[in-house]
Amino acid sequence: MKQTVDWHSHWTRKSPGFHEGQVNSYLEQFLPLYKLQPGDTIFMPLCGKAVDILWLSQQGYQVVGVELSEVAIESFFAESDIDFVKVQHENLVAYESPGITLYQGNYMNMQADYLTGCKLVYDRASIVAIESFNRKSYKLKMLDIVSPGTPMLLVTLDYDQTVMQGPPFSVPVSEVEELYLPEYQLELLQSNEQIEERPKWREIGLGSLLESALRLTANEV
């Protein structure tokens, strides 16, 4: 997967724009739909240092994430005041603590055996971090590493890509639907207009920024 975005430079900023700093409201609202059991594993692709990692582990889930940036992962553990051990794998470095394992390196190097028993994929600001020409590979990799039919909670953004270049990129609900066919069907859980909350994006010239939470469930194929 060829990448054009220099993510490491985003992480040299004190607080990258995409970092929420609080538990994602869709996650809190919609997680009960998935009827997970304590101890179940949740995969967070391209996890950054999201507060959601800590929150999910505090709810009793095992969290597995993958993130390119060492700075992001080390900040996550430092800010959460959690000790970790580092384990070198072939292409990734695992940062392990009870209930949380974050793999540092390229998502494309994840392996199915790192995600055994995974019961949910939580994709917030992850698909929208992937360039359009890489989204198919991202999806195919996902199908490779999680068990067939693993449900997903996915949060995406839709805006006029001619006005702003991204990342995050605009990935309309229809594109997510098309991308995940035929393996998944999609349910729109909620859409919210976010432009008032993002004055910088309005200044750039965007008139709308639609955020949507989606539930993906397996199709019989």
Binding site for ligand SAM (CB under 6 A): 7, 18-20, 46-48, 50, 66-69, 72, 106-107, 124-126, 129, 168
Q: Which residues contact 46 (CB under 8 A, 6 or more apart)?
A: 66, 67, 68, 107, 123, 125, 126, 129, 130
Quick one: three-class SS letters along 134-185?
Answer: HHHHHHHHHHHHCCCCCCEEEEEEECCCCCCCCCCCCCCHHHHHHHHCCCEE
Closest Cα partner for 192 from 220, 162, 213? 213
Closest residue to ligand SAM, judged by C-beta, is: 48
User: Which residue's CB is nearer to ligand SAM, number 67 or number 158?
Assistant: 67
User: Which residue's CB is nearer to ligand SAM, number 34 or number 185?
Assistant: 34
Q: Are 156 and 127 a contacting pair, CB within 8 Å?
A: yes
Find the shortest distance in angstroms from Cβ 70 to ligand SAM. 10
Q: Are 214 and 155 a contacting pair, CB within 8 Å?
A: yes
User: Which residue's CB is nearer to ligand SAM, number 72 or number 94?
Assistant: 72
Find the shortest distance in angstroms from Cβ 86 to ligand SAM. 17
Q: Which residues contact 189 (CB under 8 A, 6 or more apart)?
A: 26, 30, 33, 212, 213, 214, 215
Q: Are 148 and 218 a contacting pair, CB within 8 Å?
A: yes
User: Which residue's CB is nearer to ligand SAM, number 107 or number 184?
Assistant: 107
User: Which residue's CB is nearer to ligand SAM, number 119 or number 141?
Assistant: 141
Find the shortest distance in angstroms from Cβ 203 to ligand SAM. 20
Peptide bond into 98 cis (omega under 30): no
User: Which residue's CB is nearer to ligand SAM, number 7 or number 55?
Assistant: 7
Find the shortest distance in angstroms from Cβ 37 to ligand SAM. 24
CA-to-CA distance for 129 and 46, rounded, in angstroms?
Answer: 8
Find the shortest distance in angstroms from Cβ 195 to ligand SAM. 18
Find the shortest distance in angstroms from Cβ 24 to ligand SAM. 7
Kindly state the tokens that stand for 88: 């070198």
